[in-house]
Amino acid sequence: MDSNVRPDSMARITTKELADAFIAEQVEAVRAQVGDKKVLLALSGGVDSSVVAALLIKAIGKQLVCVHVNHGLMRKNESENVIEVFKDGLDANLIYVDATDRFLDKLVDVSDPEKKRKIIGAEFIRVFEEEARKLDGIDYLAQGTIYPDIIESKKGIKAHHNDGGLPDDMKMELVEPVKFLYKDEVRVVGEALGLPHNMVYRQPFPGPGLGVRCLGAITRDRLHALREADAILREEFDKNGLAEKVWQYFIAIPDMKSVGQRNEKRYEGWPAIIRAVNTKDAMTATIEEIPYAVLHHITNRITREVEGINRVLYDITPKPTGTIEWE
């Protein structure tokens, strides 16, 4: 797509026919940009990077090298699922990098949200550059940047790992085929590309992952509690028919404790904050009214099953005034 086109004046992609036309246009554009060179893709397994992966595989096949970096801030079993879906299912040229300690060591005592985002984003690119040096002919870096990322970065609402967070010494040229699309359009394109429905309609997950949901300075014990609580929330949303009804739902855990009780003894623990919102473009969001019976059950499971958590709260703030993520 021509960089001079104003995305807010584009015809939006709402049908398979429009998606097919967009895909054909992008396939041609990517081939023209890349030629016979190789492209490195940050494959998180989220909707945006998955759609970009499928689009680039259609355009340039094995010239695409997918790298999945486990930064230690993934949801429970997420990296395992990425390997299963892409390497085993889609036969992607996939490299798996476990960089958990590398990322978490750099984040020790870092509490400012923007600093965390910048550190995680910059480290991502450095990992990709290292992987590129191990390969021949890697000249391009593909990213799943979408239009709301660009808007929010320009407005200073928050920094994005894939917009404005790249290190100055990055040697690769960017390939960003969906950067003028909104999230709902990316899903339409994903289905037109033949990706599995549950992958295309999987809820969004930020590039910094649980790093912006483990609020304040990240500690491994609180990160573990967050991962387990989030897994319970997702499991219960699946069981209760909420998974596809709600656009994004997750747990955030602040760096604070309150007194509670467990086994008839005083017990200090963190609160787990549930966030569940609906939106079409991520620019505004409304709150999902979760049935109280479901909330009670989720609360009971989290406080009983997750070590370190003794309260569950429900955030009912729309966007605006609250952003979707807490950080």
Tell me the CATH number at 262. Answer: 3.30.300.10
Lowest mean pLDDT among 106-110, 173-177, 200-204: 200-204
Do the strands 286-287 and 138-142 form a parallel or antiparallel pair, or are they unpaired?
Answer: unpaired
Instruction: State the pLDDT at residue 8.
Output: 66
Amino acid at 254: P
- With respect to residue 323, please indicate whether it lies within any of the assigned structural domains: no
Mark whether 194 and 107 lie in a shared domain.
Answer: yes
Residues 1 and 29: beta-carbon distance below 8 Å: yes
Q: Are residues 182 and 233 in the same domain?
A: no
pLDDT value of residue 10: 74
- Examine the fold and report which residue of 173, 200, 227 is the final residue of a domain before the chain moves on: 200
Q: Which residues lie across from 173 on neighbouring strands?
A: 140
Average pLDDT over the chain, rounded to whole?
A: 89
CA atoms in the 13 A half-sphere facing the CB of 193: 28
Domain count, the chain: 2
Out of 200, 221, 256, a domain closes at 200
**22 and 114 fall within a common domain:** yes
- Reply yes or no on whether the pLDDT at 137 is more than 80: no
Cβ–Cβ under 8 Å, residues 134 and 100: no
Share of the chain above pLDDT 90, in %: 64
Helices 16-34 + 47-60 axis angle, to 10: 60
Give whole-number Cα distances, 28 to 25, 34, 65, 146, 188, in Å: 5, 10, 19, 19, 19
Q: Which domain holds residue 229?
A: 213-315
- Does residue 283 belong to any structural domain of this protein? yes
> 219 and 119 in one domain?
no
Same-domain status, 155 and 301: no
Residues 34 and 85 grouped into a single domain: yes
In three-state secondary structure terms, 293 is helix
Q: For position 265, what pLDDT does the model report?
A: 87
Q: Are residues 118 and 168 in the same domain?
A: yes
Q: Which of 170, 200, 230 is the last residue of a domain?
A: 200
Report whether pLDDT(24) > 90. Answer: yes
